Amino acid sequence: MGRRTIVGVSVAVAVLAGAGTTAVVLRPPPGPPESSAVDGPTTTVERETLLGSVTVDGELGYGEPVPIAAKAPGTVTWLPKVGARIRRGGALLRADDMPVVLLYGALPIYRELRPGAEGPDVALLERNLRALGYTGFTVDDEYTGVTAEAVRRWQKDLGREETGVVDPTWLVVADGAIRVAGLKVRPGAAATGEVLTCTGAASVVTVDVEADGAGWAQPGVKVTVTLPNDKKTPGTVASVGAKAEPKEPGGTATIPVTVALGDEAPLGKLREGPVTVTYVSERRENVLAVPVAALVALPEGGYGLETVDGGTRRFLPVEVGLIADGKVEVRGAGLAVGMTVGLPK
């Protein structure tokens, strides 16, 4: 018998007894434990992997905006529009009509870079130069004369003075492409300080998870996101907040969880709206399983299966485990793969 993977909702055994919020109606045995005639539908006991899952509400958007600070002297002469996406090499603003440029990385450019400079900021600059199409140097942590040549070509394309020296005041470093969320100044303001707010350029899902149920939320955990159009797309937990706090006074403390989408194609033009996030909460591998409808409430208490062998039937007591997507894990003496069991008519 082949193995299948079933994805569904994890429910405690107590649910079968009516103690949970989900009711499972069990059919009573139609007669004495032994009978000589069998009719009606049947199914078979299979060996499967059951995945219990939990679904929580989330919000599609771009995440929490963060400020971008510039160090450029002079006056702001141009700003991008709210909603604009800025990629590596693009201008975040213009100060005295000169571009302040976005680079990718984790370390800010904090000093002038010229031939003879060494360090990780040099390597960051050279990686960005290469990505922008400027070559002729070795990407390492040494700023050489050939690095300066590449910088001069870059400065010429930007309309800046071709010095071969990198001034940190016209560079801003971010983790990746950004989307302008808001403007904090207007043209004519000083170009030094917080000039705009931004988010990542890619759509993300944010989920406020109750603090006492956030054990599953770890970076790298795979989830499934269901969109308002009922399409599904894979996601991965990208970050988990470090502080649990209620959204409103007296409310339940929650932790913000950000989910990155693996495929934005199902979004179409959708960029904001409510979604659901489903994660695997429990896994049962290599277990015996039957449809939940096959369970029978035994007169003496507990649960059983109506096993069918030829023209006779009998009720076999079983213990139940994980319920997932209409399937239930069953255990019991005499239970075997391929055994035929009855279903309600």
CATH of the domain at 303: 2.40.420.20
Whether 183 and 70 map to the same domain: the answer is yes
Neighbours of 5 (CB within 10 A): 12
Instruction: Reply yes or no on whether the pLDDT at 32 is more than 60.
Output: no
Neighbours of 333 (CB within 10 A): 7
Residue that terminates a domain, selected from 180, 200, 220? 200
**Residue 221 within any structural domain of the chain:** yes
Whether the CB-CB separation of 304 and 316 falls below 8 Å is answered with yes
Question: What's the CA angle centered on 95, arms 67 and 73, to 5 degrees?
Answer: 85
**Residue 143 within any structural domain of the chain:** yes
Q: Name the band, by pLDDT with cuts 50, 70 and 90, for residue 4.
A: very low
Please tell me which residue, 115 or 243, carries the higher pLDDT value: 115
Structural domain harbouring 311 = 5-52+283-342
**Residue 261 within any structural domain of the chain:** yes
**Residue 275 within any structural domain of the chain:** no
Residue that terminates a domain, selected from 246, 270, 294? 270
Whether 180 and 233 map to the same domain: the answer is no
Beta bridge partners of 236: 222, 260
CATH of the domain at 74: 1.10.101.10
Whether 159 and 212 map to the same domain: the answer is no
When divided into structural domains, the chain yields a total of 3
| 3-class SS of residue 118 | strand
Whether 30 and 91 map to the same domain: the answer is no
Given this model, what pLDDT does residue 247 score?
Answer: 81
**Residue 265 within any structural domain of the chain:** yes
Q: What is the pTM of this model?
A: 0.70
Whether the CB-CB separation of 68 and 178 falls below 8 Å is answered with yes
Given this model, what pLDDT does residue 304 score?
Answer: 94
Whether 81 and 195 map to the same domain: the answer is yes
Whether 196 and 92 map to the same domain: the answer is yes
Whether the CB-CB separation of 88 and 177 falls below 8 Å is answered with yes
Rounded distance between C-alpha atoms, residue 187 and residue 258, angstroms: 34
Question: What's the CA angle centered on 232, arms 229 and 234, to 5 degrees?
Answer: 145
Pair of tokens at residue 309: 């062998």
Whether 193 and 208 map to the same domain: the answer is no
Rounded distance between C-alpha atoms, residue 61 and residue 57, angstroms: 13
Residue that terminates a domain, selected from 200, 219, 244? 200
Rounded distance between C-alpha atoms, residue 205 and residue 219, angstroms: 14
Pair of tokens at residue 172: 């801003």
Given this model, what pLDDT does residue 30 score?
Answer: 52
Whether 308 and 226 map to the same domain: the answer is no
DSSP 14-31: GGGGT-SSS--PPBPPSS
Rounded distance between C-alpha atoms, residue 11 and residue 81, angstroms: 49
Strand order in the sheet with 178-183: 85-86, 178-183, 190-200, 66-78, 91-95, 98-104, 171-174
Whether 217 and 159 map to the same domain: the answer is no
Please write the tens of the pLDDT for every residue from 272-313. Answer: 899 999 998 888 999 999 999 999 999 989 999 999 887 788
Whether 71 and 181 map to the same domain: the answer is yes
Instruction: Reply yes or no on whether the pLDDT at 13 is more than 70.
Output: no
Whether 330 and 239 map to the same domain: the answer is no
Q: Name the band, by pLDDT with cuts 50, 70 and 90, for residue 29.
A: low
- Residue 237, CB half-sphere, CA atoms under 13 Å: how many? 23
Whether 19 and 127 map to the same domain: the answer is no
**Residue 278 within any structural domain of the chain:** no
Residue type, 258: T
